[in-house]
Structure formats: structure tokens, C-alpha cells
Structure 1
Amino acid sequence: MSQSRAALKHYAAVQVQSTVTEATPHHLTALLFDGALERIARAKGHLQRGELAAKGELISAVVAIVGELAGSLRRDAAPDLVDRLSALYDYILRRLIEANAANRVEPLDEAGRLLGALAEAWQAIDPDRPAPLAANG
């Protein structure tokens, strides 16, 4: 590896560490969603090229992220919502495992769509996002 490439990797690692250290809990969850979606996209590319080991590693990373998201649910906050989200995360995990075991793109795509929808909903409830201005009426 060239010296400049090593320096770039080090800079990226420091940036990631800085982002995580300074992030709010809401932003950390958004980062988990982003990480899962990015890894799904990369896993799909590896699968399409027949690079099964790399595909498996990435899907395993997504499984760990989804497990972390599911584990962070606070049942005391909204039990009915938590039950539904937990069931959805369980379904996503099953689809990821199917994609990995059967080397199929479709379950991977579905897991990505579902996580993408959850990520969008999560962004929409960002407590740090400025509230819309009320219409004068």
C-alpha cells in the first residue's frame, strides 16, 4: 500500500471515530442504517460477480447491525411499536440469511428496501431537525 493511500485510510478512520464520538443517539442510529444499506449494496455487487466470501462477510456485518438496531429498541417507550419493529427486524434477518445461504439477490434487495424505509422514517423524526415554520393564517 502506498504511503498516501495509508494516510488516506488513517484519515478516514479518524473521521469515522470523530463522527461516532460526537454523534447523538439519534445520529448513531442513522449511521447504523447507513452502514447496513451501504454493506447491502456492496454485498449485492459481490454476489453478482460471484465473490461469495466477500458477499458473506458483508451480509454477516449487516446481520450484526440489524441485531444492534433490534437490541436498541426500548420496550417501555411504545410496546406495540416495539413489537412490530422487532418482528420486522426479525423478518429482515431471515431475508438476509436466505440471501446469503441461497446466493440470491431478491431477498437482499427486499432487506435493503425495508431498511431504507426505516432509515427514511428515522430521519423524519430527527429531534435536531428544525421544525417547519407554521403558516400564517
Structure 2
Amino acid sequence: MLQPAVNSYKHNQVETAPPEDLTLMLYNGAIMFVKRAKQAIEKKDLNHAHHYNTRVQDIVDELIITLDRKYPISEQLLALYDYLKRRLIEANVSKEIAVLDEVEGFLSEFRDTWKQAMVLARSQKQ
């Protein structure tokens, strides 16, 4: 009974969030699914490991699609996202947690930097 309400809340949160918050949600979601993939590998649950890994790949694809290419840093981010996508594919085949640790590290750095940029941008608007 509670799950439909939670799903509705999440849907509304995504639908009404500004673009910078959506990017932060993508980073957080990717990190969460990397952690779940690692846990599934540790439990030898390869089906769920695959499922979570492909969820992260989908999020990285979304990050690529939503890149604003008018900024020079976009090309550097594109190269990094492409690298992460290749590493995720490698991790999905090999089921190596170390590869997922690397991906998680990059995603955490991106998320933390994005958070700092959001704070800075919002403070400059005031």
C-alpha cells in the first residue's frame, strides 16, 4: 500500500526538479546501483549483478545524452563517461569488484564536484 505513494512521490520529485538537481539524482542513482552490483557479486548473484550494472550503464548513457556541448569541459566529461561505460561493460563480463570500485570512485568525485558547483551557482544568484 505504501509503495505506490513512494513511487508517486519519486515521480513528482523528478518531474519538478531543476536540471541541476536531476544530474545530482543521476549521480546518486549510479552510485547506489554500483554498490548494489558489488553486493550482488559478493553474494554470487550474477543475475542481479548484471541488472544493477546495466542500470549504471543506462545512467551513464543519460549523462552523455544530457551533456551541454557548448562548454569546452563537455568534451572532457564525454571522454570520461565513455571510459566509465567501457569499464562497466568490462566489469559486467568479468564480475570484478575492483573495476566497480574504480567506477564508483569516479562517480563519487563527479557527484561531489557537481554538488559544490550547485552550491557555488546558487550562492552567486543571491
Equivalent residue, structure 2, for 1:109 = 101
As a proportion of its length, which structure holds more helix? 2
Equivalent residue, structure 2, for 1:131 = 123
Question: TM-score by structure 2 length?
Answer: 0.92
Give the superposition deviation at 1:18: 1.4
Equivalent residue, structure 2, for 1:43 = 37
Following the alignment from structure 2 to structure 1, what is the Cα–Cα distance between the partners of residues 120 and 18?
A: 9
Equivalent residue, structure 2, for 1:121 = 113
Following the alignment from structure 2 to structure 1, what is the Cα–Cα distance between the partners of residues 31 and 69?
A: 25
Residue 50 (structure 2) aligned to one of 52, 56, 75: 56
- Relative to structure 1, is the Cα distance of residues 103 and 86 closer, same or farther in structure 2, using a 3 angstrom cutoff? same
The number of equivalent residue pairs is 124
**Off by >6 Å, runs of 4+ in structure 1:** none
What's the secondary structure of 2:123's corresponding residue? coil
Q: Which amino acid aligns with 1:92?
A: L
Following the alignment from structure 2 to structure 1, what is the Cα–Cα distance between the partners of residues 66 and 115?
A: 17
RMSD of the TM alignment (CA)? 1.6
Q: Which runs of 5+ in 2 are unaligned?
A: none
Q: Which runs of 5+ in 1 are unaligned?
A: 1-6, 133-137
Larger radius of gyration: 1
